[in-house]
A and B are shown apart, each in its own frame.
Chain A
């Protein structure tokens, strides 16, 4: 049960992957910018700076963490679209005017471009990472 991205986004992501292969990133980037605006450049920047980490565990369950430009780390679930950043909460959930925040877009880009840091943790550690996103009770 994979998350379903709109077909056009899937298409653009594959074109981006192809463009990267041919050293023609700027072409792929142009289409992404059309759809995502400045988030596209910021997302690509995050990929270039190796800011995305795939955290995997022996159970096979995994999650992503993205080191944002502010220095804060956000957790993203790739199986469905979720990011813990405030921009996701605001523009994607409340205003419903963006499909993805730049961190989620960076995660998908790093998937198609096959470039991201890898971190293996134990099952218990992954539980703690996922739980940490639940705000601490006051």
Chain B
């Protein structure tokens, strides 16, 4: 899923150049941020991205129906793509468990992307770490099953959004450690701005060992549309043109 998110964040509102859609979604990704930081919008953008030409349906799980479809990230909300996004609203943790445990019974084509918004609401019902671990493990197992059904060379990505609190307590720290065990890739959305007088969010994508950390600057226009630009790097940024101090090492 990290790859799909990276494509969303890099596209920068420009028309999709017709580059070959790779079937690789990337490792499961956890999207973290405070309320209002744009997680749902990013999830939805990823859903639109994955629902592109020739790609499978997308399964979007959230507790409550979205009040309004997020404005998106500059791309037109193509109705063909929208049609391929299947929304389901498990109203409780138990219902979410039931949905995931029976995912292999559901008829129809397997989705190419599984999204869950508001993991914190489902976890809040069951504070025990083992239950939380089982829920997360089932999310991964469900995505793995969909990948299997999609056939060789195709993968079902997994992207989960979790709302973080201002003040983290010890339970949160434990939960975060648990989540990092299961989600190799993470994207943090934090209020930040590249310069004085500016505002917005810094989106920091850690692809989980598959590449360097990348950052973007996210702002919302007055009409709710999300604007994304690469985070301005300083001159002499070490992430570009690394020195070869360890030359020759495998």
Taking Cβ atoms with an 8 Å cutoff, the residues of A that contact B are 1-4, 57, 59-61, 63, 77, 79-82, 84, 88-89, 93-94, 96, 123-124, 126-127, 130-131, 133-135, 137
Contact = CB atoms under 8 A, between A and B. Distances in A.
B28 A1 contact: yes
Contact of A60 (B134, B138, B149, B178): B149
Given A59-B105, A123-B105, A93 B144 contact: no
Contacts of B98: 131
Contacts of B181: 81, 93, 96
A95 to B, nearest CB: 10
Contact of A82 (B133, B145, B174): B133
Contact of A79 (B27, B105, B140, B155): B140
Contacts of A77: 137-138, 140-141
What 8 pairs between A and B have smallest CB-CB spacing?
Answer: A82-B137, A79-B144, A59-B104, A61-B104, A130-B101, A80-B140, A89-B130, A127-B102
Nearest to B148: A60
A107 to B, nearest CB: 13
A62 B158 CA distance: 19
Contacts, number: 83
Interface of B: 27-28, 94, 97-98, 100-105, 129-131, 133-134, 137-138, 140-141, 143-145, 147-149, 155-156, 158, 174, 177-178, 181-182, 184
Contacts of A80: 137, 140-141, 144, 182
Nearest to B140: A80
Contact of A127 (B94, B104, B147, B184): B104
Contact of B94 (A130, A133, A134): A134
Contacts of A133: 134
B138 A94 contact: no
